[in-house]
Amino acid sequence: MSENSDQQADLMVDVVILTLNESARLCVLLTKRKEAPFEGSPALPGRYIRIDEDVDADEAAQKVLLSKTGLKQPYLEQLYTFTGRFRDARNWSASIAYFALVPMFSLSAQSDTARGYSLVPVDTVPKLPFDHNEIIAKAVDRVRGKAAYTSLPCHLLPETFTLADLQSTYEAVLGHALDKSSFRRKVDDLDFLEKVTEMRVGKHRPAQLYRIKPSRSLAFFDRTV
C-alpha cells in the first residue's frame, strides 16, 4: 500500500455519546464543527486517527470521549464502520463509529452550549453533515436492541439509583412503558444489582438505592431460543 501514498483513504473515529436529559429522554451530544467543511454546524464529535499517538481505534475513541465529557470509565462500544468515496466530498474515507453511554450530565445546559456542544433528543436530531444522521440512527437501534435483553441502560444512570429510576431509563431507551411488577421480577432474577445502605429520601416514601454489582457490569436477560 506504499506505492501510491497520496491515494489513501482517510481514517477517523466518530463517537455517538448518549445520555438522558432532565426529562429522561435519550439524547445525543453534538459539537459545533470548528473546521471546514460545515464549519459551525453541529456534528458528532470525532477526529482523524493519529497512528503515532493512538495505539488503536478504541484508544482514539476514548480520547474523544474524554475530551468531550471528562469521563474515564464510560460504556464505550464499537458500532460500525462507515466507508466510501462519497460520504465526505473531500476524499474516500472510513469512519469507525463508536457509541458511549454516560450518566446524566451534571454540567448545566448553559456551560454545555458555552463550550460549543449541545444535547439533542435522538428523535429530534436536525440534518447533520456527512452521514452522521445515519450513524446516530444505527447507534440508537443498537442500544434499543440490546436494552431488550441486557443491563446496558444502567450505564446511563449515576453510581446509585432507585428501581423507579432504572425502569424509567429502560422506558426511555425502549420507547414504551413497562409493567412495574414484571420489571422488578426480571431485575431480581438477573441478580446484577445490590442494595446500598442509604435510601433516597424525597417528598414521599423513601426508596431503596441500588448499584450494579461490581462483577456484573453487563448482565444478560434470558433470550428465548
Closer CB to DNA, 150 or 208, in the complex = 208
206 touches DNA by CB under 7 A:
yes
Site string (159-178) toward its own copies, x via CB under 8 A: ---------------x---x
Confirm or reject binding of residue 108 to DNA (CB under 7 A). no
Nearer to its own copies, 7 or 23 (CB): 7
- Chain centre to alpha carbon of residue 127: 19
One of 89, 180, 191, 220 touching DNA (CB under 7 A): 180
The residue from 63, 142, 186, 211 that contacts DNA (CB under 7 A) is 186
Stretch that binds its own copies, among 5-13, 119-127, 161-169, 202-210 (CB under 8 A): 5-13
Q: Is 56 a residue that touches its own copies (CB under 8 A)?
A: yes
**DSSP at 156:** G
* From DNA, its own copies, none, interface partner of 223 (C-beta below 5 to 8 A by class): its own copies
Residues ≥6 apart with Cβ < 8 Å to 165: 157
Q: Which of residues 80-139 bind its own copies (CB under 8 A)?
A: 80-81, 83-86, 91-92, 94, 96
Among 67, 78, 113, 217, binds its own copies (CB under 8 A): 78
Residue that is written with C-alpha cell 462500544 in the block: 77
Query: What is the rounded distance in angstroms from the CA atom of residue 79 to the CA atom of residue 91?
Result: 22
Q: Which one of its own copies, DNA, none is in contact with 127 (Cβ closer than 5 to 8 A by kind)? A: none
DSSP state letters, 99-141: EEE-PPP-S-HHHHHHTTEEEEEGGG----STTHHHHHHHHHH
CA angle, 133 then 65 then 19, to 5°: 60
Q: Is 197 in the site for DNA (CB under 7 A)?
A: no
Least Cβ distance, residue 157 to its own copies (angstroms): 19
| Cβ pair 129, 145 in contact under 8 A | no
Q: Does 224 bind its own copies (CB under 8 A)?
A: yes
57 near its own copies, judged by CB under 8 A: yes
